[in-house]
Amino acid sequence: MLTIKKSDIAGSLLLAVMAEMHIVRDKLSFFERKYHMDFEAFEYSIKNQGESYQHWDDYMEWKAYKRLFEENTRKIYDIKNADFEVH
């Protein structure tokens, strides 16, 4: 039987999530630069303006990246605190 330390698994998991976070941060920055505002301001403006398919497409993608950022932030916290199980 192979024995692997939880800390070794945590290190690998942390690297994977942090690599994904780098991509997510780049996408979030892209949208902030494109629209010259943060997500909350963009969300407010898009819900109070006429229909623009490009803006709605960007809104949905930006929202998904925001959610992924929040999920990965929680994952990083859990991994750093060894709050995970291996099955």
87 band by pLDDT with thresholds 50, 70 and 90: confident
Give start and end residues of each alpha helix (H) in the chain.
6-35, 39-47, 53-80
pLDDT at 3: 83
Is pLDDT larger for residue 18 or for residue 87?
A: 18
Span 30-77, pLDDT tens digits: 999 999 999 999 999 998 887 789 999 999 999 999 999 999 999 999
* Alpha-carbon distance values, 24 to 21, 69, 71, 79 (Å): 5, 6, 11, 18
